Amino acid sequence: MEFTARDLCDFLQGALEGDPSVKVSKPARIEEGQAGDVCFLANPKYINFAYTTKASVLIVNADQVFEQPVAATLIRVKDAYTAIAKVLDQYQAMANGNGVSNQIEKSSFISDKAKVGMNVHIGHFAVISDEAEVGDGTVIFPQVFIGKSVKIGRNTRIFPGAVILDACVIGDHCIIGAGTIIGSDGFGFAPQEDGTYKKVAQTGNVVVEDHVEIGANTTIDRATMGSTIIRKGAKLDNLIQIAHNVEIGENTVIAAQSGISGSTKIGKNCIIGGQVGIVGHLTIADGTKINAQSGVSKNVKEENSSLTGSPAFDYSASMRSQVVFRKLPEMMERIKALEAQIQLLLHK
């Protein structure tokens, strides 16, 4: 598969600088680019590679300034990172025809009581249980388990080994990563007088709205009552734990190894770094940014605030505190010197 720089520029609706007839056949990292590759530059940390890369085409931001000549043909776009995402999507689709055919493998099991839409692919050893519904164009890869009364929307992709348990709802155009479990029991136990714990039945479900992406080996617990909800457009990384009755707002992104405790409500357009821990029954305001490895133990009421640390507090205040902390040894020496001078004055 080859494309000219002009074809690629038209596809991205960009502005071309250089040879419009040069051909590219695959994407590559800018530091590894060779003739026939298309690369991108979105982070200024990598600008030096723009002068040395052997790639044929380089996608850059419209306002990118170069201090040296660049050999590659340039395509200037509004957002280079978004542009390369479009290129990768197109490349993947054309390379493998979306990776599957619209067929149901004979080794899969589909209940007679289930409903399967048009142009659905169901892979080897996948299980579709009673009363489950699978929407048009959805792809279910091998060894996926779909529980009773589960509803899956249109054009969703569920990767190998994923488990979606009874009564959960998955929207349209979602991606569920390999090994992810949606609808496992929430962690609910009532302490007893004798020191034991009585399990609290988890009778709710999980609702995943449209255009949500959930990475590999993430777990989302069903609600004790009602629903655990992942709102539309949210993006969850691999290895995340979402507890019962949590709500994740629209277009919120959460990085790997974060844990959200029960009944916490996270607003829309939040950005949560890796290994963040959030205790239960909190409310996190829209637009909140939480730095990696932070621990949040209180409500976040102010929208678009930034937090860091454990316990987490205002990012700017934390940075100022760290400046002071680094100067503590020097400040201690100054205090000792001042104390010595005071003692001399007192003894005169």
Picking from 145, 170, 161, the residue whose alpha carbon sits closest to that of residue 229 is 170
Residue from 169, 177, 176, 173 nearest 152 by CA:
169
Same domain, 161 and 287: yes
Tokens of 89: 């999507």
Report percent pLDDT > 70 for the chain: 98
Q: Is 121 a catalytic residue?
A: no
Residues 48 and 161 in one domain: no
User: Domain check: are 207 and 245 in the same one?
Assistant: yes
For the chain, 348 residues long, the average pLDDT of each consecutive 10-residue run is: 92 96 95 96 95 97 96 97 92 66 91 97 97 97 98 97 98 98 96 96 97 98 97 98 98 98 98 97 98 95 93 76 81 88 82
Same-domain check for residues 224 and 281: yes
Domain end, chosen from 64, 99, 134, is at 99
**Residues 335, 298 within the same domain:** no
Give the whole-angstrom CA distance, residue 117 versus residue 101: 15
| Total number of residues shown for the chain | 348
Tell me whether residue 104 is in a domain. Answer: no
pLDDT tens digits, one per residue of 42-83: 999 999 999 999 999 999 999 999 999 999 999 999 999 999
Q: Which candidate in 211, 244, 281, 347 is catalytic?
A: 244
Last residue of a domain, one of 99, 123, 145: 99
- Which pTM does this prediction carry? 0.83
Tell me how many degrees the CA angle 289-283-297 measures, rounded to the nearest 5: 75
d(CA 171, CA 340): 71
How many domains in the chain?
3
CATH assignment of the domain containing 183:
2.160.10.10
- Residue 102: the pLDDT is 81
